[in-house]
Amino acid sequence: MENQDKKRNLIINAALLRFAHYGLAKTTMTDIAKDISFSKALLYYYFPDKLSLYVSVIEHLMHTISKDILKSVEKTNTCTEGVLMVLQKRQGYIQKYYNLMEFNKLIGPELPDDLYEKFSRARAFELKIIASLLRRGVEKGEFQVDNINLTTEILVEALSGIHFNILSRHKNICPSQEQFKQIFIKEKFLAKIFLSGLSAS
């Protein structure tokens, strides 16, 4: 069983490198098999198709990102710094793994259920960590917040609005790297304005 897990993880890590460099559409199962000297048959034993492998790669990456964000947020001194750290880390990973995010070229605009579930979990994680930061801010006297969950939802939805607004102006499904930079700059600015409005002072 341990050997099977090692092989599965080896495939996922090799696929992550391929998808991050070439994107989903330009990567083949043959490429991944060659990179780790596995037969295609062995790859298909663990993953029935490229999409199932891609979903596992996304899950693996999201787990890595979540751990990194939690670790980084713990080192921040204020809630505001923590929220800005979440946005900065997310932006850094998007820039690093930009080609990995261009799945719509192959999959289309509608997400398969498995992939939708992974992105839903990522959003739930973001809501949870921002809510915990707001709670910490209230406990330390940094903020005055009556309803932490509702305030968190409004902040996250407002940040998402920036993303969709920029895309709607350019008729894109997936932002370009330059658009991601614009989104991040505006997200940071909005977060600072929003959080200063919650200040207890």
pLDDT tens figures, 127-166: 999 999 999 999 999 999 999 999 999 999 999 888 777 7
Highest mean pLDDT of the ranges 27-31, 91-95, 160-164: 27-31
The residues near 159 (Cβ < 8 Å, ≥ 6 apart) are: 87, 187, 190, 191
- Give how far Cα 33 sits from Cα of 26, 28, 50, 101, 182, Å: 15, 9, 12, 22, 37
Mapping DSSP to helix (H, G, I), strand (E, B) and coil, where does residue 179 land?
A: helix
User: Torsion-angle region of residue 112: left (phi > 0), alpha (psi -120 to 50) or beta?
Assistant: beta
- How much is the pLDDT for 39? 92
pLDDT band at 52; cut points 50, 70, 90: very high
* pTM score of the predicted model: 0.85
